[in-house]
Structure formats: structure tokens, C-alpha cells
Amino acid sequence: MAADPAAADLAELRRPVRGRTTVGAVLQALAAVLSVTPAVVLVEIARRLLTGSGQAVWPLAWVAVGLLAARFVLYASASLLSHLADADLAYLLRRRLTEQLSGLPLSWFAGGVSARVRSTAQDDVATLHHAVAHARGDLASAVAGPLVVVGYLLWVDWPLALLTVVMVGAAQSIRTRVQVQAAEQMSRIAAANTELTAAVLETVRGISVVKTFAGGRGAARFAAAAADYVDADERAQRIFLRPRGLARATVAPATVVFAVTAVGTGLVAAGWSDPVDLVAFTLLAVGLFEQLTPIYLAQDLRESAQGAAGRIGELLRGPRQPAVEPARARAVGAPLTVEFDDVHFGYQEGHRVVRGVSATLEPGTVTALVGPSGAGKSTLAMLLARFADVSEGAIRLGGVDLRDLERDELYRHVGFLLQDAVLLRRSIRDNIALPVPDATEEAVRAAARAAAVDDRILALPRGYDSVAGEDAVLSGGEAQRVAIARTLLAGTPVVVLDEATAFADPDSEAAIQDALAELATGRTLLVIAHRLYTVTEADQILVLDEGRVVERGRHDDLLAAGGRYAQLWRAQQGSEL
């Protein structure tokens, strides 16, 4: 029988801390055993007092106190050890996930996986908490404690012990049947909850449409989903109410005490039992059922943990971008020419978004990629930054295939500036110095001045020490200029530029254009152009359509040719009149 992949993932993820959690489980089991012994000591004290043997009871009392203290030490040690193991594992897993995400190609992120990544790195790692910090210890104590109790009761009075075991066994049998029935009912509740959540989101997101066009009738889905959820919950409660009540009544303290007292009184009257034995059953048998509860809770929590481990394992097994073998690794040659050689690429098998693109970017020149939406402009540019590898053909930098360059070697020569500037939640200084962490203050300031953002940074509450997203609240254009300063400081001779002024207001656009002019000086630029007037001075314009280069040349030549570029130009100029 094949092993459950999710269970295998859980076992594999727990491997680094398995030794510590095992020791913690042993300590918790010993603590569970010691938690029973004070009650046993009390029974023996009662036996000495009732029999009038004259034996001292204070030594036994001090033994009980000592055992309680030992239990506390063992339980605290077990809890500390297992929770430290859980914290270490959570850190290790999140670090592994971060390293894995950094090694995945851009094509993996093309399907909109941000919610999945957040859920896996945050929620699923947190879900493993019980499996790591509690599962083994709870199971060990749920087994060790009842075993000691049953063993002691059998030694004290086996007929009463069998009665207790039968009662607890009957209640456990009912609970097991309820658990089997619960699986189907909980699936129905989960499905109803999913539909209710979707209905709530639909209603909230479309509230203006609902109020304007549906006159409130658009909430019908929400009302129906809410009713279905209530029906599913009520149906489950009706199914579970009677067996749960019966199970609880069977092992309720009053029931156990009554049954043990009734049967025990008969056994005492017949001379088969000692009256003091009833004290042991009154103290220990009452809680036997509840001591087994963690076993059943662990089942549900284990299923959740296995599901979380499966999702974490799936992400960790994602296809990483191939690393460069040391024997193949090469240094970038000279001159620093960029060559696209019959490049093909597709995010999905059988669906190419770049088809047979060939082009040469000479050092120090500006090449613009233009074309309609979905033509493959951004994809082609990102291939130069090796966010993904080409499916066919090759991209060379200084005569060397990008696939033969170490990542650090590539990014020492190729930088990129995206349309949506990303600032990390750290100081503005650290954001600018991200590519050169040991950059001097003057170097950071010089880059900011070149990007025309130095004055704005100095006006922040703490200047360059202000933290993005906290006391550094920047407009989109200002954030873009900080990103330009970062790129300037990196000093990469080749820059991939997604039109930085696409969403800027007129005031910000002028400042950004000045900063980009500084950035372009002496560098090779590959620009993704959405507004054609921004690249009229480009040395080379590549016109893409459906992933192919359909035209190439300078602005004036392409206009004179009257082809696809001229159509795009006229369409944009007409829309701006």
C-alpha cells in the first residue's frame, strides 16, 4: 500500500526537529504518569487511616507534593522543548520557502499565485504548530496516563476496573461513530461556508452595482447561501446531538460515581472488595474518558497539518530555474553587446508568447519594444533579466549565453526598473543602497540627486532614515525616482526599463524623464514603451505583434514605411487630441 504523500510530506518537514519533539513527548508522558500518582497516594493514605494500621501518613503526603512538583518540572520542560522546536522549524521552513521562491522562474508566478504563496508561507506553516509542538506529547500523555490509571485500578479491584473500562469503552464507541458521521457533515458545512464567503465577497465588491441596478435583489445569493449554511449546521447538530449526549451521559462524573458506588457497595457487602477501594475509583475513574480526548482531537488536527504539509511540500518541489554548473560558468565578455538569437518562449507548454525574435542591442544604445497589449514586450524584456529561460534560441550578453552566467554575474551587468516601483519596508537609505549594501552616505545621496529625489527625501520626517510605508509616504512618481536612484547606484551597464512614466502625472513625468536621461547616459537600455512619444529618439525600435518582430528601425523611418508602427502612432496621437 502506497504511503500517503501528505503524511510523507509532514514526516519529512518535521525531520529537523524530530529528536527534540520525541524527547518532549517522553517528558510529557512521564508528566502524565506523575499527574496520576498523587491520587494514588491519597488512596493509600485513606487506606492507612481507615484500616487503623498506625502507619504514618505524612511521608506519603510529602511524596504526593514531590510528585506534583516533579510533574510541573517535566511538563514545563516538555512544553518549552517542543515549542522551541516548533519556532525553529517555522523559521527554517519560511527560510526554505523564501530561497525556493527566489529560485523559481517568472513563468511560475504568471498564474496569479500571490494568495497561494501568502497562505502557504504564513497560514500553512502556522498550521503545523500543533503537529510539531503538541501532537506527539498529547498522544503520549493520552496513552500513558490512562494506561497507568487502568493498571492501578485492575490491581486494586479488577471487577470494578472492568466495569469502568466497559463504560468508557461504550462512550468511546459512540464517539468513534459520531466522528465517522461527522466527516460527511463537516464537508457539507465547509462547502456551504465556501459559498457563503463567495456570496459575501460578491455582494460587498459589487454593492454599487447591486444598489443601482438590482434594487437590492443582488443580495439574493447571499441570503440563499446564508440559509444553506444554517440548514447544514442545524442538520449536523441534529445528527450529533443524541449520540453526543448519550456518550457524555455514559461517562458523566455522576454516572460513573453512581455505577461504581452501586456495584462497589454490593461487592463490599459480599466481602469481595475493600471499602477503601471505592475511593480509588471515585478519584481516578471519573476523569478517564477525558484523558482520551486528545487522541480524537489529534485526528482532525493531523489531517489539517497533513494538508498544510502537502501544500508546503508542493511549493518546495516547484521547478527551480536551472543553476549554472561550475564547469560551465563563464564571465561576461566584451564588448557588452546584447543578442537575441531566434528566441522563443511560452509560459505554458504549447502556448508561445515570443516567437523567433532576433535583435542586437549595441553597447550604449537605446532599444524600444513597442506593440499592442499582449504582443510579448514585457515577456521579451524580462527574458533578458533571466526571470525565465528561453524555450528555444538564446540570449547572449557579451557573447555569453545567459544560461552560462551565474546569477550574481548576470545581475552585476543587467538591472531592471519596473513600471510599478517596489520599495521595501525599510529606510529610504537602505532601499537605495539595496544593490550595494556597503555604499557610503555620499554615494547614496549622489544617486538620489541624480534621480532628482534628494530634496524630497530630506523633507521627510527623518530624512534618509524614514521608513517606506511608515513615515515615508511617497507618491508614485517619487517612489519611481527612488527606484531610479537605486538603479543608478547599482551601476549596471545594461538596464531593462518598463516605461516609468506610464502612470505619472505631468509634474512627476518631467522629473522622472530627467532622472531617466541621467540613467541612460553611457548605458544600454531596453525600454518597454507604452506611449510611443517617449521613444522617438531611440536608436532602435522593435515593433512586436503576437510575439514576433514585424518591424524594426528608427521612429522617422518607421513612420515613413506606413506599417504597423505608423498605425499605432496615429491611433495614439488621435486619442490624445
CB 528, CB 371: distance < 8 Å: no
The pLDDT-based confidence of 218 (bands split at 50, 70, 90) is low
Whether the per-residue pLDDT at 199 is higher than 80: the answer is no
The CATH homologous superfamily for domain 338-576 is: P-loop containing nucleotide triphosphate hydrolases (3.40.50.300)
The pLDDT-based confidence of 171 (bands split at 50, 70, 90) is low
Q: What is the mean pLDDT of residues 391-404?
A: 87
The reported pLDDT for the residue numbered 340 is 92
**Beta strands per DSSP E along 362-457:** 366-370, 392-397, 400-401, 414-417
* Alpha carbons 274 and 114: distance in angstroms, whole number: 69
The reported pLDDT for the residue numbered 8 is 79
The pLDDT-based confidence of 2 (bands split at 50, 70, 90) is very low
Predicted confidence (pLDDT) per residue in 239-252, tens digit: 666 666 655 655 55
* Alpha carbons 296 and 565: distance in angstroms, whole number: 69
Whether the per-residue pLDDT at 393 is higher than 80: the answer is yes
pLDDT, greater one: 27 or 499 = 27
The reported pLDDT for the residue numbered 183 is 57
| Residue whose C-alpha cell reads 523611418 in the numeric block | 557
Distance of CA 367 to the CA centre of its chain: 39
Predicted confidence (pLDDT) per residue in 284-329, tens digit: 766 676 677 777 666 667 777 777 788 888 888 877 777 766 766 6
Least confident of 250-264, 347-361, 393-407, 539-553: 250-264
Residue 547 φ then ψ, to 5°: 85, 0
Q: Quote the longest CA-to-CA distance of the chain.
A: 119
Residue 553 φ then ψ, to 5°: 150, -170
Q: What is the mean pLDDT of residues 412-431?
A: 84
The reported pLDDT for the residue numbered 503 is 47
Minimal CA–CA distance to 137: which of 37, 291, 22?
Answer: 22
The reported pLDDT for the residue numbered 197 is 74
The CATH homologous superfamily for domain 1-157+292-320 is: ABC transporter type 1, transmembrane domain (1.20.1560.10)
Least confident of 66-80, 270-284, 437-451: 270-284
Whether the per-residue pLDDT at 546 is higher than 80: the answer is yes
Whether the per-residue pLDDT at 509 is higher than 70: the answer is no
Two domains, one topology: 1-157+292-320 and 338-576: no
Map out the domains of the chain as residue ranges: 1-157+292-320, 158-273, 338-576
> Would the pTM of this model clear 0.85, i.e. be above it?
no
pLDDT, greater one: 236 or 475 = 475
Highest mean pLDDT pick, 32-41, 100-109, 111-120: 32-41
Residue 374 φ/ψ region, left for φ over 0, alpha for ψ in the -120 to 50 degree band, beta for the rest: left
Long-range contacts made by residues 39-44, C-beta under 8 angstroms, separation at least 24?
39/280, 39/283, 39/284, 40/152, 40/280, 40/284, 41/67, 42/279, 42/283, 43/156, 43/276, 43/279, 43/280, 43/283
pLDDT, greater one: 139 or 395 = 395
Q: In sequence order, what DSSP letters do the residues of 420-442 get, joined into one string? A: S----SSBHHHHHTTT-TT--HH
Highest mean pLDDT pick, 218-227, 457-466, 513-522: 457-466
Predicted confidence (pLDDT) per residue in 255-286, tens digit: 666 666 777 677 767 777 677 777 777 777 66
- Cα three-residue angle 45-49-53, rounded to 5 degrees: 105
CB 344, CB 392: distance < 8 Å: yes
Distance of CA 366 to the CA centre of its chain: 40
The reported pLDDT for the residue numbered 419 is 72
Q: What is the mean pLDDT of residues 197-219?
A: 66
Percent of the chain with pLDDT over 70: 77
